[in-house]
Each structure stands twice: as structure tokens, then as C-alpha cells.
Amino acid sequence: LGAGGNGVVYRVRDRKIGRDLALKLLSDGEETLVVREAHALTALESAHVLRVFNAGIHGDVPFIATDIAAMGSTEDQIVAGIGVPPELAVRWVRQALVGLDYCHRMNVLHRDLTPGNIFLNSPDHALIGDFGIATNLDVDGTAPSAGNQRCRAPEGFRGRLTTRSELFSAGATLWRLLTGSWPYNATNE
């Protein structure tokens, strides 16, 4: 289905539950939520979180198996230099924020909110997904920095991320959806 900086995603058939799933094989060497607390991901059940069916390590390969979003991601809907209609952009980011709020209440920080990680079941239904670099918040309410630098909050470049950092990422995501470009240039170095 696709590939990114953190792994490769395949469409697979789970014969036990009789449905097709997206199976992401993670390539990132850093300790991730999927490695430490797979049950936290499978417990995330919200109308605006892409359902995680299984997560863990097989052999030495960490993986996450999720639902498949019928329309792909919001990134797939962007017309370069133009974006998407404002009413769609606002709807999708608003729904992603509902999903993020739920994750935060479950002590999970996504750390990579981008248009490519907001998925669509229909033009009216957005869900956050791709929890490949998600992590639990520390006791002080922070987490190590990670994720796409084009959407990362300033404090994440030399400090730690918080739930407020993800609000910044949501704003950068909204900008990209509305304009078809990123609010600023950054590299992942």
C-alpha cells in the first residue's frame, strides 16, 4: 500500500478474522510504543482513530496491523499548490483533533500528525492512523521528539514534545491541506 520513513505497508488478509488489513512493518530502530505496549494501541477505540487489530514483534520485526481506509489519506486528496476545499480541510483536521484528544487521554502521543497520517473512510469521516512512532507520555507529560519536521512544533527540534506540540502539528497539517504546500521548509536531518 505504501512506504515511508518508518516502514513499509502491505495489504494482507487475516484469515482468522476474515478481513483485509494494512500491515505496517516498522524499520525504525528506536523504541516505539508498538514494542513496549502493543496492548495500548489495540485498546485505542474511537470513531476518529484508525482501528489497530494487532501490534507487536514477529521475530525481530515490529509490526502494526490496522483497518484499511477506503479513500487513503488526506495527503492523497491534495492538489499541489491548491490544497483541498476549506470545508473538507477543516472537517478532517477537526476530526483528527477528536482522535488525538482520545489518544492523549489514553496517555499516547502520536508524534507524527501529518496529512499522510489522517485517513479517510469517506469525505465526511477522517481518522488518525500510522502509530509507528507513537509513544506513551512520561510522568512529566512529555515525550522524546520524533516525526516529520515539516509539521513538528518548535520545541521538538531541540526539546521534548507535549500534547500541545500536536496542536501545532494539527495547525501545520491544516495549512498544508488548505494551500497544498508546507508552512515552512525543513529536512529530516
Label the pairing between strands 160-161 and 143-144. antiparallel
- The single residue of 14, 28, 101, 112 carrying the catalytic annotation is 112
- For residues 62 and 146, give the distance between their C-alpha atoms in angstroms, rounded to a whole number: 17
Beta bridge partners of 83: 79
Q: What is the spatial distance between Cα 29 and Cα 65, in angstroms, rounded to a whole number?
A: 18
Q: Which residues lie closer than 8 Å to 23 by C-beta, 6 or more apart?
A: 9, 10, 11, 12, 63, 64, 65
Q: Output the nine-digit C-alpha cell for 90.
A: 477543516
Q: Is 124 considered catalytic here?
A: no
Give catalytic residue positions.
112
